[in-house]
Amino acid sequence: MLKRVVITGIGGICGLGNDVPAIWDAMRSGRSAIGPIDNPSLHDLKVKVGSEIKTLPDHGIDRKQVVSMDRFSLLAVIAAREAMQQSGLTAHADNTYRMGAVVGVGVAGFETIEENYRAILIEGRNRAAIFTVPKVMPGAAAGQVSMSLGLRGPVFGVTSACSSANHAIASAVDQIRLGRADVMVAGGTEAPLVWGVLKGWEALRVLSPDTCRPFSADRQGLSLGEGAGMAVLESYDHAMARGATILAEIAGAGLSADASDIVAPTVEGPEAAMRFCLVDAGLNPEDVDYLNAHGTGTKANDQIETAAIKRVFGEHVGALSVSSTKSMHAHCLGASGGLEMIACVMAIRDGIVPPTANFREPDPECDLDVTPNTARERKVRAALSNSFAFGGTNAVLAFKAI
C-alpha cells in the first residue's frame, strides 16, 4: 500500500504578496497584480505588462549565499523558508539525510545570463562573473534550498516548462512513497521578467496587451509573472508521530504527454492526466469540488482545457467550481503550479473558492462555472490543479481535506 503524503507547511512569493497570507488575501479578494513592469532595462518591447514583485522582503538569508544565486533561486529559498517555518521542522544530525528538495523551473538563470551578455558584449568586459555557471543551472534552486535548510536527502531540479512545479511536487511525493525520504520540500520558481525572455514570448504573439482574462470571450492572451510557491511534504505517519498540523493531503498525481506538437495542445493529453490523477488519488469525479485550471487566457488553451474538463467530469461538471488564479498572479511558468498549490490548499482550509479575475464576457466554448470575479464560499473536500506545458507535458495534482 502506498504511503500517504501530507502538506504541513506552505510558502510563497509573487506579485500578489511576499508570503502566503498576503497572497491568499489577494486571491480571495479577486485582486490582480498584473500591470506595467517597472524595469528600465526592458527597452524595445511591444508588451511591457506582467506581474512583478515590487519589493523583496527582508528575508534574512546570508549575503554569501545571496551573491551565488540568480533571482529564481532566491525566490525559491524565500518561499521554502516560509514553508519550513510553518511546518515546525528543522534539519539536524538525526534527520537531515531523510529530508530533501525538488524544485521546478521553466527558464532558469536569465537574469544572470543577460547581465553577463551585457557586460561582455556592450560594456566590453573580457570575462563572465565568477558565479555564472552555478547561478544559471536549472537545478540551482533545489541546491540552494537544500543548503539554506540543511537538507541532505534527495535533492534535484525539474524542468518541464509550465508543468515544472507540478512535476516537482509529484516527484517529491514519489520519494516519500518509495521510502527514500520522510520529508520533502517541493514546488516551483521563476524569474522571467527579463528582456530576452519577454522578447521571445512577444514573438509567439500570445501576450495580452493589458491583462489576463481566462475563459472570457474577449481574452487576448497570457501575462507573465515571477514568483515561487513551495510546500513541505511529509509521510502521514511522520507528521502524525510529531503532532504536526496537517494542512491537506496530496492524494495523487497524473502525468501524460500529448506527443503531438511543441506548442499546440491537444484535448486528449490533459484529459488523460486528469483521469490518471483521479485514479491515483482514489477519487471519483463527483468527489472533486474545485479545479484550479491551467487557464492561461489564450484562445486555444481555454477552449481545449474546457473540452478536456467536460470529458473527465461528465455530468458532474455543472457542480464543479473552476477558476484560474493566473488572472491574478499571471503565468509564472515553472512557478505557476506552486502558487496554484497554495490556492488549492487554502480553498480546502478556508472553504473559499478563489475567483477568475478580469472576467467580462461569457464564451460559449468555455461554458464552465469559472467563478467569475468574486470568490465563493464552498466546502472543498478535494481539489485538482492542472498544469499543461509547451512540449505537450501535462501534470495534474489532487489535494484533499484530512
Render 82-99 in DSSP notation, one character per residue. HHHHHHT----TTTGGGE
Q: In DSSP terms, which residues pair with 5 in a beta bridge?
A: 235, 250
Q: Residue 281 and residue 220: Cα distance in Å, rounded?
A: 35
Percent of the chain with pLDDT over 70: 100
Which residues, 6 or more positions from 342, have their beta carbon under 8 angstroms from its beta carbon? 10, 12, 20, 23, 24, 229
Identify the active-site residue in 167, 238, 329, 331: 331
At residue 342, what is the residue type? Answer: I
Average pLDDT rounded to a whole number, residues 320-338: 98
More confident residue, 44 or 57: 57
Active site residue 162: yes
Cell numbers representing residue 358 in the block = 478580469
Our measurement of the distance from residue 22's CA atom to the centroid of its chain's CA atoms, rounded to an integer in Å, reads 16
Q: Of 14, 162, 344, 366, which one is the catalytic site residue?
A: 162
The confidence score (pLDDT) of residue 44 equals: 83
Return the pLDDT at 158. Answer: 98
The one catalytic residue in 167, 238, 294, 329 is: 294
Please check the confidence at residue 120 and state whether its pLDDT lies above 80.
yes
pLDDT computed for residue 99 by the predictor: 98
**pLDDT tens digits, one per residue of 84-108:** 999 999 999 999 999 999 999 999 9
- First-last CA distance in the chain: 18
Determine the Cα–Cα distance for residues 155 and 276; give it in Å rounded to an integer: 26
Taking only the tens place, the pLDDT of each residue in 352-395 is: 999 999 999 999 999 999 999 999 999 999 999 999 999 999 99
Burial of 35 (0-12, 13-18, 19+ CB in 10 A): middle
Name the percent of the chain lying above pLDDT 90: 97
CB 132 within 8 A of CB 357: no
Average pLDDT in the chain: 97
How far is 242 from 245, CA to CA, in rounded Å?
Answer: 9
- pLDDT at position 260 is 97
DSSP 285: G
pLDDT at 368: 98
DSSP 8-state secondary structure symbol assigned to residue 319:
G
Report d(CA 246, CA 253) in Å as an integer. Answer: 19
33 pLDDT band (50/70/90 cuts)? very high
pLDDT for the residue numbered 42:
81
- What nine digits make up the cell of 299? 484562445
C-alpha cell at 23: 497572497
Q: At what angle do helices 71-87 and 140-149 cross, to 10 degrees?
A: 40
pLDDT at 210 over 90: yes
Whether 294 is catalytic is: yes
Contacts of residue 326, Cβ cutoff 8 Å, sequence gap at least 6: 212, 214, 222, 223, 294, 295, 296, 297, 332, 336
Q: pLDDT band at residue 43, thresholds of 50, 70 and 90? A: confident
pLDDT tens by residue, 161-182? 999 999 999 999 999 999 999 9
Backbone angles phi, psi at 189, to 5 degrees: -150, 155
At residue 40 the predicted structure's pLDDT band, cuts being 50, 70 and 90, is confident
Give me the pLDDT at residue 1, please: 77
Count CB atoms within 10 A of the CB of residue 286. 13
Q: Which helix (H) or strand (E) holds 227?
A: strand 227-235
Q: What is the pLDDT of residue 39?
A: 84
59 labelled catalytic: no
